[in-house]
Amino acid sequence: MSQAQPVYVRLAPEEREMLEKLADYLHKLGKIESPTLSDALRVCLHFTVNEILKAIEAERYK
């Protein structure tokens, strides 16, 4: 895997609060090692991309 590169994201206070809650929850479930915003965002990105790809494949192979 290539070296991670920093990405900067602006969040509204309520979005940051939601992400902090998600990070804590994912950490308690053992899905991420530490409850950081970056780890929570990374999980969200992987989940979202996988769901989009599934939807694309479902339409293609119906």
What pLDDT does 4 receive? 84
What pLDDT does 59 receive? 86
Pick from 2, 42, 6, 49: nearest CA to 22? 42
What pLDDT does 35 receive? 96
Residue 36 to residue 38: CA distance in whole angstroms: 5
Pick from 15, 13, 35, 37: nearest CA to 25? 35
Residue-wise pLDDT for 4-62, tens only, equals 899 899 999 999 999 999 999 999 999 999 999 999 999 999 999 999 999 999 987 66
What is the number of alpha carbons within 13 Å of residue 26 lying toward its C-beta?
21
Taking a C-beta distance cutoff of 8 angstroms, is the pair 11, 22 a contact? no
What pLDDT does 1 receive? 55
| Stated pTM of the model | 0.77
Break the chain into its structural domains and give their ranges: 13-60
